[in-house]
Structure 1
Amino acid sequence: MAESARRDLPTLTNSAERLLAGLDLSRERLVVRRPGKRHIIHLDELTYRCASAWLS
């Protein structure tokens, strides 16, 4: 793969940062934004508790 193409690929850190930016624990949901779209994922109780404990 060409070096310039490698630089354009998202890294795990960038992906995690984007997901964390969309995490809304007060509403128990994750908002995933993509160009021109927005997906809302409602967190179940276990996922909510794990995310909450991980961030505290």
Structure 2
Amino acid sequence: MEITHDLLAGLSKSFGLFYLIALSIAVTIYAFWPSLGNRFDKAANSILDDEDGPCR
């Protein structure tokens, strides 16, 4: 079997596709993990908690 440019390009595109799909699934699972909810809520509200008052 001869390794051609078309074969290598097809393999790299397929690997990249499955890599990005796996990465997006992992990020989605991480974002919706139940024990991390408090951390995300704290991060979302931390900017609002630091305000002293209206801008001058």
Q: Would you say same fold, with TM above 0.5?
A: no
**Higher share of residues assigned strand:** 1
**Higher share of residues assigned helix:** 2
Indicate the structure (1 or 2) with the bigger Cα radius of gyration.
Answer: 2
TM-score (structure 1 length as normaliser):
0.29
TM-score (structure 2 length as normaliser):
0.29
The structure, 1 or 2, with the larger RCO (C-alpha pairs under 8 Å, 6+ apart) is: 1
